[in-house]
Amino acid sequence: MVIFTARKSEAISINSEAISINSKAISINSAAIFFDSVDLCPLTTEYCTNPKLASSYDLSRYARSTFFARTDEIDAMPTRATQSMTAPQQWHSQGGYITLLGHSIFVVDEGSPAQPTLLLIHGFPTSSWDWQPVWQQLRAHFRIIALDMLGFGFSDKPKNHRYSIHGQADVVEALIHAKQLNRFHVLAHDYGDTVAQELLARQLDGNGAGQWLSCCLLNGGLFPETHRALLTQKLLLSPFGALINHLSNFNQFRRNFSSVFGAETKPSEQELNDFWWLINVNHGKHVFHNLITYINDRKKHRERWVSALQTSSVPLALINGSVDPVSGSHMVSRYQALSCRLDYLAELPSIGHYPQVEAPAEFVGHYEAFVRAIGASSPTTNV
């Protein structure tokens, strides 16, 4: 069940920690690279919100158009402890490879063409396996298609490729054409949110592939002004990036990756090993200094990508883990302050950066409520 409410968002300002740099001897914690946003490491930086915008923002225009979901009104659902994740090797057996734009791209496609289609776009630094905890529940209502983008998971990971958000959007559109998709829903997370923003902009330009029925965004860096690059991220964009990648290891990854989850929803040791294994398939870890150029893409194309959210003709939803240090409640506040379209909002108060992994059943409940809210009588209706 969802209810209508209207409420103002408050700006969140977090003082950044002072960083003292000795130009002759710089110590780098390379593990800080394994996240979606530049502020996702143990040194928390300032989220640059605009207090005037946030304090004066009027939600009245959403009073009759936006569903703000109360998590206590979603039916009781299994806890994190009752969930289990399929091993990556088994996940691999569910999918196959398609050559798209000259690259071998791993794709999982399950369901009937008679069902509404749902296209899933994963985040950084992980892969389509992120969707595995919610796969069967979504599969009951949708034909689901998920890919590992170029440089991720089981897909090709060319070392000297010039990675970009526009390039990843091209790969996704090539998949849409290859699968002959006409009308479909989009669900994205993290880095995938940015890819979705570019794809949405193409939809609004009138030259996008297929017709979007809706778009739901999970935690992700939608606004570059809400985070500030640390020394480590700046060095990843420098000639030292390859060296930083080389110095990283599993223990650093375990510590930092776990830090973006909620206090009660941390990944298990097995899950951490599986995430790390997928990152390293095809020597994937060593392309991160190339992949991380998405930080520059977000700054360069901010106007285009934020405008797509503000002027969207496609219903948009946010399902957001509030305690995520990267893109938690502060990101939702910024989203609202910028008057971006918002048809459905669910804020999960104890969940971090990975709602689909940390609270899979709760997430699915909200996603199905969103689909119903935008006009489908049930998730099974091919709207």
Residue ranges per domain, the chain? 30-373
Regarding predicted confidence, which is higher, 12 or 380? 380
pLDDT at position 249 over 70: yes
Q: What is the mean pLDDT of the chain?
A: 80
pLDDT at position 212 over 70: yes
Rounded to whole angstroms, the Cα distance separating 295 from 233 reads 9
pLDDT at position 51 over 80: no
Instruction: Find the mean pLDDT for residues 79-90.
Output: 69
Rounded to whole angstroms, the Cα distance separating 1 from 72 reads 9
Q: What is the percent of the chain with per-residue pLDDT over 70, rounded to a whole number? A: 73
DSSP category for residue 3 = B
The reported pLDDT for the residue numbered 247 is: 81
The reported pLDDT for the residue numbered 42 is: 28
The reported pLDDT for the residue numbered 226 is: 80
Regarding predicted confidence, which is higher, 5 or 148? 148
Superfamily of the domain at 30-373 = Alpha/Beta hydrolase fold, catalytic domain (3.40.50.1820)
Q: Residue 278 has which token pair?
A: 């997928």
Digit-coded pLDDT (tens) for 111-146: 998 999 999 999 998 999 999 999 999 999 999 999
Instruction: Find the mean pLDDT for residues 166-187.
Output: 98
pLDDT at position 276 over 70: yes
pLDDT at position 224 over 70: yes
The reported pLDDT for the residue numbered 375 is: 82
Digit-coded pLDDT (tens) for 306-344: 999 999 999 999 999 999 998 999 999 999 999 999 999
Place 286 in a pLDDT band, splitting at 50, 70 and 90: confident
Instruction: Find the mean pLDDT for residues 161-184.
Output: 97
Place 291 in a pLDDT band, splitting at 50, 70 and 90: confident
273 exposure class (CB count in 10 Å sphere: 0-12, 13-18, 19+): middle
Backbone φ and ψ of 345, nearest 5°: -135, 125
The region that residue 65 occupies, defined by phi over 0 for left and psi between -120 and 50 for alpha, beta otherwise, is alpha
Instruction: Find the mean pLDDT for residues 59-67.
Output: 37
Rounded to whole angstroms, the Cα distance separating 281 from 373 reads 40
pLDDT at position 73 over 60: no
pLDDT at position 35 over 80: no
pLDDT at position 11 over 60: no
Instruction: Find the mean pLDDT for residues 276-300.
Output: 88
The reported pLDDT for the residue numbered 246 is: 80
The reported pLDDT for the residue numbered 199 is: 98
Place 356 in a pLDDT band, splitting at 50, 70 and 90: very high
62 exposure class (CB count in 10 Å sphere: 0-12, 13-18, 19+): buried
CB-based contact 189:340 (threshold 8 Å)? no
pLDDT at position 64 over 90: no
Q: b or e along 144-166 (b: 16 or more beta carbons within 10 Å of the residue's beta carbon)?
A: bbbbbbbbbbbbbbeeeeebbbe
Instruction: Find the mean pLDDT for residues 139-157.
Output: 97
Place 82 in a pLDDT band, splitting at 50, 70 and 90: very low
Regarding predicted confidence, which is higher, 111 or 78? 111
271 exposure class (CB count in 10 Å sphere: 0-12, 13-18, 19+): middle
Adjacent-strand bridge partners of 100: 103
Instruction: Find the mean pLDDT for residues 169-173.
Output: 98
Q: b or e along 11-49 (b: 16 or more beta carbons within 10 Å of the residue's beta carbon)?
A: bbeeeeeeeeeeeeeeebbbbbbbbbbbbbbeebbebbb
Q: What is the percent of the chain with per-residue pLDDT over 90, rounded to a whole number? A: 62
Least confident stretch, 5-9, 174-178, 230-234: 5-9
**Cβ neighbours for 95, distance < 8 A, ≥ 6 positions apart:** 106, 107, 108, 109, 128, 154
